[in-house]
């Protein structure tokens, strides 16, 4: 039975949480658990970061992917990169008034990805190629931000109180007095536009309460 209904406290290890790209056991079964406490096992690496996995972070740091750097340097670099995309809260910057990346990157099976590539070339030209990243056997991940931009929703899109960030097309922002309906209307417009252009239905990452797209 769901732990929320029985009010039991259940300890779960890392593997039991089933963490993967923007997913977990808690997202798959949102009615079952409420996370009360988290314990992290931190590695003592002599003041160094973990291996730098993201190419953009490695490039800015001037190191190869997989290298380690001083923890303070890694922290400062990540904060700078995230701030440049409006992902570090600043009360004076409406681009940071968001729930972060609003849509997840689509993961397509081989057949769906082949159909998607055909749509891309029909719309953007024979030489056009969409971003593609391995996502397990028989699956490929593409970029939601790229889809949104190529469907015509560029940075800053919108004329109302809810608009796409001027820094990052994945962020739907409140320009000061947006309502839930304003935000949902923008999200629905983006979802419909991307589906019409490329045949892919974007999925929202933030959990909606009492409303849906």
Cα 52 from chain centre: 19
Enzyme catalytic residues: 22, 101, 205
Residue keyed to tokens 């658990």: 33
Q: Which residues contact 109 (CB under 8 A, 6 or more apart)?
A: 138, 139
Q: State how far the alpha carbon of 79 is from the alpha carbons of 64, 83, 86, 164, 166, in Å.
A: 19, 6, 10, 21, 18
Confirm if 144 and 203 have CB atoms less than 8 A apart: no
Q: State how far the alpha carbon of 90 is from the alpha carbons of 7, 18, 74, 99, 102, in Å.
A: 37, 33, 21, 13, 18
Confirm if 74 and 49 have CB atoms less than 8 A apart: yes
Q: State how far the alpha carbon of 112 is from the alpha carbons of 59, 66, 92, 103, 139, in Å.
A: 32, 32, 42, 19, 9
């Amino acid at each position: 039975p769901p732990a929320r209904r029985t009010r039991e406290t259940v300890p779960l290890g890392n593997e039991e949480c089933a963490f993967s790209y923007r997913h977990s056991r808690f997202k798959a079964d949102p009615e079952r658990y409420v996370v009360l406490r988290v314990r992290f096992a931190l590695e003592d690496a002599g003041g160094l970061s973990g291996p730098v996995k993201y190419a953009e972070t490695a490039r800015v740091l001037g190191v190869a992917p997989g290298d380690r750097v001083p923890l303070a340097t890694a922290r400062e670099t990540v904060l700078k990169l995230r701030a440049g995309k409006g992902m570090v809260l600043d009360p004076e910057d409406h681009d940071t008034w968001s729930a972060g990346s609003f849509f997840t990157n689509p993961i397509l099976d081989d057949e769906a990805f082949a159909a998607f590539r055909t749509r891309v070339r029909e719309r953007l030209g024979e030489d056009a190629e969409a971003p593609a990243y391995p996502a397990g056997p028989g699956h490929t991940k593409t970029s939601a931000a790229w889809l949104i931009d190529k469907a015509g929703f560029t940075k800053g899109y919108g004329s109302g109180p809810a608009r796409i960030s001027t820094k990052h097309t994945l962020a739907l922002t409140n320009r000061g007095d947006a309502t839930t309906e304003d935000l949902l209307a923008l999200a629905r417009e983006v979802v419909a536009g991307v589906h019409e252009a490329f045949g892919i239905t974007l999925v929202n990452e933030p959990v909606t309460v009492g409303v849906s797209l």
